[in-house]
Every structure is written in structure tokens, then in C-alpha cells.
Copies of this chain bind each other. A is one copy, B any other.
Amino acid sequence: MSVVVVGSVAYDGVETPRGRVECMLGGAGTFIAVSASYFTDVCLVGVVGEDFAEEDRAFLAARGIDLEGLQTAPGKTFYWSCVYSEDMNERTTLRTELNVFADFEPRLPARYRACPYIVLGNIQPALQRRVRVQVPQARLVAGDTMNYWIETAREELLAAIRDWDALLINDGEARLLSGERNLLRAARRLQQTGPRILVIKRGEFGAVLFADEFIFAAPGYLLEEVWDPTGAGDCFLGGFVGYLAERGLDPRSPDADPKELARAVVYGSVLGSFCCERFGVDRFRTLSRAEIDERFRQFKRLTEF
């Protein structure tokens, strides 16, 4: 079943210990959509400027992503640049030029509104809410956020999250949003904010899923070479929802098998790990579904005892 992804489509400048790229395709919406496209049909809602390159549009289209919801507005595409620390566990934002993204108003084409799976990338919580009301019948609404919104738009964010089925955030955000340092207690508090499903992403240390009383913990997949971690969390989100959509799962159903959510977490981890193997979306220019499934099986061998 198809997935609607709402999020930023951007040009990124990234410097890591492995190299530097001045300007390449990026943005949360892009990474989520590209990852989910390995599992199911994807519709992308976002905005780009008049400078958006034909080859980048062609790359998304070649992944089978429906671009009717990708608006083009007068002006330039959202630009963001950053530099990573030596161990790549920290990054410093260098420039944020919102450009056309400053006035982004997500409009879902009529045929997108029947999509059962909705992914809300990290955008202004008020915008996330305005998308949510356009898809009242969605089977699964999953979303992400960031420190900036937790600190500057807390109430609006909590109001948005209340209507989601799944919240996927990193451990620092989970602590900040819950006010709890201990991860288990942070999770218990966040489960009370609305979403039945909570995934706490821990970067290279894996991820933990909470769904009612069910808990699943995945270690990080070890990579010999990390080129660029940008987008790994978004790819996790895309792989997670993509797998659930491919299987047509309804996590709200009382018969839902929580192990399917665990498998979705592993697919999320797998997509996130591939993302780090090249700069930007480059790994996805050659990545095949067979490679994804092979790494999923490796993950199983890696964790079985």
C-alpha cells in the first residue's frame, strides 16, 4: 500500500572526515521517500525552487516516486550545510537558508488523501498538524521532530504528536521532550503523549521500539566505512514505514503482530546503515532490494543467540 511522505527537499553541503560536498540532493523528505520506495509506492509532498535540477527530479522519478505533490515555487531550493566531528557523532550546522521552504504549505493532491500510510518528516509542528487533518482516515501516521521544535514550539508539537500512531526520534530528543534522563522512563512518558508506537533511534548504537508493553532493542549495524551520516535517521523512518506499508500492516489492529514492528525497526536500521556508506543519497543510486534483504538476514545472524 502506498505511502505519502511530507518533508523537506533540499540541497545540502556536507563535510565529514571522508570528504566534502558543496551542494547535493538532500532533505528529510528526500531521504524518507527514497528509502520507502524500496518497499512500496511513494508520493512526495514538498517544495523546491526554480534552481532544482532536472537530474535530481529524474533520480526521484526513477525510484518510482510520485512527484505531483512536489511544488516548484519562485526562488531557490532550501539549502543547509554542516560539518561533522572526527567521530561523526556530532555535527555543527554552518548555514541554513530556508528559501522557498520558508513559505511551504503542504497541499496533498486529492488522490494522495486516500493513502493509508503517512510520514511526517521533521517540519514545523503546525504544518504537521495541517497535513494530519487532510488524512483523517490514515491507517498509520508516523512522524519525526527535532530539538529546535521541542525547544521553541513545545505545545504545538505535543498537540501534533497527540494524533500520531508512531513517533520516531533520537535519544537526545526523547530525553528533551520527556524531561527524563533514563531512556526507559523517558519512553514511558512519551507513550502517554499519544503515539502507541515509539522508536528511539540511538545512531550507531541501534534503536529501541516501544509498542504498548512490547519492547524490542536492536544493536547498531557495524559499518567499516562511514562516509556521511546525514539522512540516516530519515532513511530509518522511510524503511520502517515502507516495510509496514509493503506488508499492509495495521498496527492499530488488536491482532497486529508486534514482531512485525520489530522487523520494521530492523529494515529501518538497514536503510539507515546503507545511507551512511556514501555522501547524500549516492548509495541509493545503485542499491538494490536484494542487498537490503541480504543485510536484513545478516542482521538476524548478528543478533541471534
- Residues of A with Cβ closer than 8 Å to B? 86-87, 181-185, 202, 205-206, 208, 215-220, 222-226, 259, 262-263, 265-266, 300, 302-305
Contacts and interface: CB of A to CB of B under 8 A. Distances in A.
A217 B184 contact: no
A215 B224 CA distance: 13
B222 A219 contact: no
Contact of A215 (B182, B205, B222): B222
Given A208-B219, A262-B304, A265-B305, 20 more contacts: A86-B181, A182-B224, A182-B225, A182-B226, A183-B222, A184-B222, A185-B224, A202-B205, A205-B205, A205-B206, A215-B302, A216-B302, A217-B222, A218-B219, A218-B305, A219-B219, A259-B304, A300-B305, A303-B305, A304-B304
Given A205-B205, A206-B205, A223 B184 contact: yes
Contacts of A205: 202, 205-206, 219-220
Nearest to A305: B262
Contact of A263 (B215, B262, B263, B305): B305
Interchain residue pairs A-B with the least CB separation, the first 6: A217-B219, A262-B305, A205-B205, A219-B219, A184-B222, A184-B224
B219 A266 contact: no
Contacts of A217: 219-220, 222, 302-303
A261 to B, nearest CB: 9
How many chain copies does the complex carry?
2
A232 to B, nearest CB: 16
Contacts of A224: 182, 184-185
Contacts of A304: 259, 262, 304
A219 B262 CA distance: 14
A28 B210 CA distance: 35
A68 to B, nearest CB: 35
A223 B184 CA distance: 7
Contacts of A305: 216, 218, 259, 262-263, 265-266, 300, 303
A24 B115 CA distance: 61
Nearest to A87: B181
Nearest to A225: B182
A209 to B, nearest CB: 10
A32 to B, nearest CB: 22
Nearest to A215: B302
A203 to B, nearest CB: 10
Contacts of A181: 86-87
